[in-house]
Copies of this chain bind each other. A is one copy, B any other.
Amino acid sequence: MKAYVLFSGGKDSSLTAIMLEKFFEVELVTCSFGIIPTAEISKDLAKIIGFPHRVINPGTDILEKACDMAIQDGFLNNAINFLHRQSLLKIVSDRDSDDVFLIADGIRRDDRVPNLTKSEIQSFEDKNNILYASPLSGFGRKTINEMVRLNLIIEEGESSVLQKCDYEEELREMLNRKIGVEDANTLFPKSHKQSRVVKRIYDL
């Protein structure tokens, strides 16, 4: 069975793919709106960990809507949840076969957003005849760090410095353009450490 793994180039989504490869035919999927070159960066990072990769673009209107939500709310949670759901739905609408497949993301036990409730998951699976999983959601931060240590070399840094390729970066860029860097900054946490894969450690 195919598994499409939402891929940001960071340690969580990379580990998710590695965890699933024993069970599924994994393909990485990066959501890119074309605002910043996340499509190209994600292609290179996917090669590093050795999985096929594709880019999906849910459309600029979706990113615009997420911006409006963030500005209206004064915080990001709903906007991030919206973008996450739209990415999942775009994978479904891009399907080229009726076969059941798995969509997986890198959500962890400690993550507050994005998240889906159990009933949202049930409805998403049933409506679309697909499976959905968050393989890391049963694991805490320290356990994930241990699993990452054995399988990946990563670099970590502030998100402002370390370019990854998730929709959050494009949301930030569009907010910068819409309301200015200063106001956009108030919506994001002051310090936000990101990770990016540098190399995969293969089994001996």
A interface residues with partner B (beta carbon < 8 Å)? 1, 18-19, 22-24, 102, 107, 109, 118, 121-122, 125, 131-140, 142-143, 146-147, 150-151, 203
Contact = CB atoms under 8 A, between A and B. Distances in A.
A138 B136 contact: yes
23 contacts: A1-B146, A22-B22, A23-B150, A23-B151, A24-B146, A102-B143, A107-B138, A109-B118, A121-B140, A125-B140, A125-B142, A131-B140, A131-B142, A132-B143, A133-B138, A133-B139, A133-B140, A135-B135, A135-B138, A135-B139, A137-B137, A137-B138, A138-B138
Copies of this subunit: 2
Contacts of A22: 18-19, 22, 203
Nearest to A108: B138
Contacts of A137: 137-138
Contacts of A135: 135, 138-139
Task: Give the most central of A131, A135, A143: most B CB within 10 Å.
Answer: A143
A37 to B, nearest CB: 31
Task: Give the most central of A19, A118, A136: most B CB within 10 Å.
Answer: A19
Given A23-B147, A23-B151, A137-B137, 18 more contacts: A1-B146, A19-B19, A22-B22, A22-B203, A23-B146, A24-B146, A107-B138, A109-B121, A122-B140, A131-B140, A131-B142, A131-B146, A132-B143, A133-B138, A133-B139, A135-B135, A135-B139, A138-B138
